[in-house]
Structure 1
Amino acid sequence: MKPNGIPPALLEKYLSGECTDAEKEMVEAWYASLQGEPRYLDHLPDTEQDEIRQEVFGNIRRELNMVEERPVHRLPWHWLAGIAASILVALGIFFAGNLKTVQLPEVTVKGAKSDPSKALPVTTFKNTGKQVVRHKLPDGSVVTMHPKSTIMYHTAFATNKRFVEFSGEGFFDVKKDKAHPFNIKSGDMIIRVLGTSFNVKAIESQKKFQVDVVTGSVQVTAYDKKLDKQEVVLKPQQQALFELDSKRLISKTSPLPAKKEIYEPVTIVFEETPLKKVIEQLEKRFNVSISLTNPGLAKCGLTANFESQTFPNILEILCTSLDVTYTISDNHITINGEPCD
């Protein structure tokens, strides 16, 4: 059985002589496995070889930059003139958070003793800011995380499953992979999907976890106080509620509110529209309230065509175009910046 891949951060420690004996053994075992299979990529199609190379170099760059998170630099709006809003969203704009790699603690397996030296590294990402953060997972899935949300996962997903632990509120857009179901653990609740999009609200202080499905289907499992298994399967416009005190899991059809939740996409067009009118339209469409720290911003004009975009995407492009920032607390957004000339 081949050893698992080694994260670049661990390679850095090895090269600088800072590894523990167990870590050193892990790196050397991994290197020996590469030497024993020098032409491993040759049997793969060219497209897969290129994809693997790009992913490896991307991971190395990300890992080497983990020590010091760098702030996002906003592009001047004149650079973006003529570029469709949908292209900006496709490229993805990510905010700074708290990302670190830790060593997975020893796990006791029934009937056998585990070897701490073979523990897989785990990545923990926490949104420590006051904005919504888009975080990409190793398999290409993306989770849009609210402030104070945390996600943990093996730095390189296991080959037979995709598993994360999540707390807080976040919108998951899971990459389809029928052979490897995607599993999310939030407290005593497990969410299992193949490829879909849904919102998870798992804030323990609210005493109730909630899952809302937008596309595809989701299986939610939890155990009651008698440790009997409870399971529901959700389709679009359905939700699951798990009560933390009673350990009761129920499902129901999501109500049709007059306003959309921020993770639901809408299509909306603005043509030199004053920010004051933009805010009115967004508050009318979404279940949010928006305020300006500087009243002079209300006259700033926005031109953009948003097609099937969620509120966080719309808000980020709005802020980029007007060179302003925002903070979010629950469903209230505060926009900060200087008035337009």
Structure 2
Amino acid sequence: MQAYRDLEPDELAADPSFQRWKLTADPDASAFWNEWLIHNPDRHELIEKATLLLTAIHQQYAQLARQHPPVSDEEVRHEIGRLRQSLDEPRVKPLRGSGQGNSWFTPLRYGVAASVLLLLGLFGWYRLRPTTTPDPQTVTYTDLIAVAQETNSLIEVENNETKPLTVALPDQSTIVVYPKSRVSYPKAFTGNKREVYLQGQAFFSVTKNPAKPFYVYANSLVTKVLGTSFTVQTYETNRQVKVVVNTGRVSVYAASQKPASNPKDETKLTGVVLTPNQQIVFSPVDSRLVKSVVANPVVLKPAVQQQAFRFQRTPMAEVFATLEQAYGININYDADLMRTCYLTASLSDEPLFQKLDLICRTVNASYEQVNGDIVIHANGCD
């Protein structure tokens, strides 16, 4: 969380997580940024500027992109610098009769922002541009089915109801298909793979069989498991795919970056490996995999919750070890720096992040998520 504090408005507006929050209302991005604002109440002006800039670009970019030719990287850097300088100028009153309140985003500044909308295309805004030409990295459900049907007959189940639909697979695995979603799978899993194709959202409970890995193809993302439970969700608006692990271990990778085929590797999990309470969001635009902790981690071992969340002058090493055991999430900290830190508290029903908030306030520390782990920043204890 700390890293975002030092960004400029244009840099924040270019962040994919910030874009998902403001443009698509992604629930996980919303949860993260609402939590970020709680921890960074002094950075509301940064959020305001980045939001206004992103909104203006989103509204104007498509039209300007059709009217102007591509530009060089040097021009992009020059115009971004000019925009940043404009954002930092003192606030001015709008022209008389403009009907606007006292805002930093005056028509003059709006003009500066609009002048660089096209130029920002090389800075990341090309993701927002509507286009009728499919990205070569983007594979749709229809594309996947068309290829699979050439070698195998598939059964398709589409859920047009208002509640989830449970589908039993030939290997006794099950899929809970959510409304407005569909899956395709073969009548029998032959060969050394079990392959399923998804559009929308589904929860998979896979029967364990290390000799025959289970693959889920969702747009341009491949999820591989040997036997576990997890959720896969595709977003049609921005072609993103999200995978959330409930039990076991899952590996994910972009279809364009699939490891070289090797029969000996079929029983191994390659790519980015996820464990319970972790998730990954894949963007096909840049084949980017963003790994993080889920918004509301659950206790994986209920017995720990009943017995081990009561601390009486407990060393922080033991406290963090207890949380790691309960939630299955790595907590990284400087053990030497925190060797004199102790906790006396009774924690029970609080969500994990509230527990961490309380602990960090007690020992004058802070935390952030980094690649699916929790990182503690502390100054030590007297």
Q: Normalization by structure 1: what TM-score?
A: 0.39
**TM-score for both structures, normalised by structure 2:** 0.35
Q: Identify the structure with the greater helix proportion.
A: 2
Task: Say which structure is richer in strand.
Answer: 1
